[in-house]
Structure formats: C-alpha cells, structure tokens
C-alpha cells in the first residue's frame, strides 16, 4: 500500500517542489486548491485499498480553511497540519478547536519543513478514528452538510433559504437525474401548501441559481429539462 499526502494550497510551483522531495521518501503528493477538493480526495483515499493517507497539510496563507476544517477532520484519519508564514494565536486556537492536529510557522529551509512535518506526525499518536457517519455530500465543487444545513461552493459559504437548500439537497444526491416539477414540489413542500404550484418552484430555482452563480466559478449547476423539470448538472 502506498502513502499519499494532500497539500491544500494555491501555489502550484511550491507544491511541485515539495512533491519531488516527498517522492524521494516514497510518498505521493496530491494538490487541492480548495477545501472541498481536499475533502473529496481524502474520502477517496480513505475508501481506497491501494493507498493510505499519510497527512494533510494546509498552507493557511492562501486558503480560507477554518469554515470547512471540521468536515475535513470527519473524513481524514491522518493528521491535519496547518502551516503559516506568520503565527497567529487566535487562528492557532481556532484551527485546533476545529480538528487540526498541529499549527505552526513554516521555515525557509525545505528539509527543515519536511522534518518538522515528520516530527509532528510521529509525535501525534492520533487515534485512528472510525470513519465518521457524517452525511456530508461533495460534488462538482460543492460541499453540502445536511445535518448542519450549510453549503460551500469552492470554499465560499452560500446562505440558502430552507426551500433552496432542500431543492439543492434533493438533486445533488443524484446528479444528472431528472426530477419533474411535481416530484420536487412534493418532496420539498411536502404538502405544506395545498396550492403549491410551479410558480413557487420557478422562483426558488431562480434564486438558487443566482446564489450559486455568485461564486467564483459561476457554473450553472441547476439545468432545465424543457417541459419536464430540472437536474443537477456535472458539466
């Protein structure tokens, strides 16, 4: 079984440099430029029979990681290490409270940084916890937590109404599946309004699309299937 680490950062050149150094130690590197992608990758590795997650490193200078750190902690049994160019006491406390195993300032010498990571991993006799039963959903850059009713798109949290959240939740569970207007109304409104009709649905879909498109990538996640309904698109 091979070992893999995940580096959450946006500096591809820096990642490739350290990836080569870790490779000499027989450890494969994977770069994720958002927390959502890292959570997806961690889930894949934890479910894999051919590789094991060695550690996860977060370069705090370039990633807004705190909001989704607890979700990453749910999915990764390996140590989570946060590196920063400037130590911040408040951020240190938040990182550890939300699931990080280590928070520290990185050094200018690459080998010292690698040795520090190895020391941190070895010193953390972190219990290999059972995989969480969390109902977290990650798909196409979206992270959705049904239990907390929170949605992130490329690490930006989106505030949704109850109806908007329920519509997205319904469709993201089965991407590319077409849901008819009546199916969505029956599931989301659940008979709460006797006169619930397509106008309510249309307005909710319109607002949901506007909120999702306000994110950096601006994708059109909710696709119209003419005269039938809608689906969550993977395109």
Please tell me the predicted confidence (pLDDT) of residue 128.
47
Which structure tokens are listed for 135? 């109902």
Would you list the domain boundaries of the chain?
2-123, 137-232
Q: Give the separation between CA 6 and CA 55, rounded to whole angstroms.
A: 7
- CATH number for 137-232 (one of 1.25.40.10, 1.10.1060.10, 2.40.10.220, 1.10.10.10): it is 1.10.10.10
Averages of pLDDT over runs of 10 residues in the chain (235 residues) are: 93 96 96 95 90 94 92 90 94 94 92 91 62 75 92 92 95 94 88 67 93 76 92 89
81-94 b/e (C-beta count within 10 Å ≥ 16 → b):
bbbbeeeeeebbeb
The pTM (predicted TM-score) of the whole model is 0.82
Q: Would you say 140 and 173 are in contact if contact means Cβ atoms under 8 Å apart?
A: no
Which structure tokens are listed for 38? 């890292």
Phi, psi torsion values for 153, nearest 5 degrees: -120, 115
CB atoms under 10 Å from CB of 184, counted, come to 22
Domains 2-123 and 137-232 share a fold: no
Q: Give the separation between CA 14 and CA 139, rounded to whole angstroms.
A: 27
Please tell me the predicted confidence (pLDDT) of residue 235.
80
- CATH number for 2-123 (one of 3.40.50.2300, 2.40.240.20, 3.90.550.10, 3.40.50.1240): it is 3.40.50.2300
Give the residues across from 231 on adjacent strands.
223
Q: Would you say 232 and 171 are in contact if contact means Cβ atoms under 8 Å apart?
A: yes
Please tell me the predicted confidence (pLDDT) of residue 134.
65
Which structure tokens are listed for 2? 């091979």
104-131 b/e (C-beta count within 10 Å ≥ 16 → b):
bebeeeeeebbebbeebbeeeeeeeeee
């Amino acid at each position: 079984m091979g070992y893999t680490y995940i580096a959450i950062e946006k500096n591809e050149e820096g990642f490739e440099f350290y990836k080569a150094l870790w490779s000499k130690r027989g450890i494969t590197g994977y770069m994720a430029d958002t927390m959502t992608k890292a959570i997806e990758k961690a889930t894949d590795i934890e479910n894999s029979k051919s590789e094991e997650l060695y550690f996860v490193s977060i370069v705090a200078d370039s990633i807004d990681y705190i909001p989704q750190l607890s979700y990453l902690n749910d999915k990764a049994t390996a140590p989570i290490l946060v590196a920063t160019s400037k130590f911040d006491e408040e951020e240190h406390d938040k990182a550890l409270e939300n699931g990080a195993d280590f928070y520290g300032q990185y050094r200018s010498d690459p080998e010292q940084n690698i040795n520090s990571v190895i020391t941190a991993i070895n010193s953390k006799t972190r219990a290999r916890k059972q995989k969480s039963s969390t109902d977290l959903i990650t798909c196409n850059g979206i992270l959705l937590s049904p239990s907390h009713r929170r949605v992130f798109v490329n690490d930006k949290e989106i505030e949704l109404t109850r109806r908007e959240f329920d519509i997205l939740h319904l469709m993201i569970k089965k991407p590319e599946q077409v849901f008819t207007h009546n199916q969505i109304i029956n599931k989301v409104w659940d008979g709460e309004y006797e006169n619930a009709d397509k106008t309510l649905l249309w307005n909710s879909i319109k607002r949901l699309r506007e909120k999702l498109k306000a994110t950096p990538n601006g994708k059109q996640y909710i696709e119209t299937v003419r005269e039938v309904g809608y689906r969550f698109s993977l395109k």
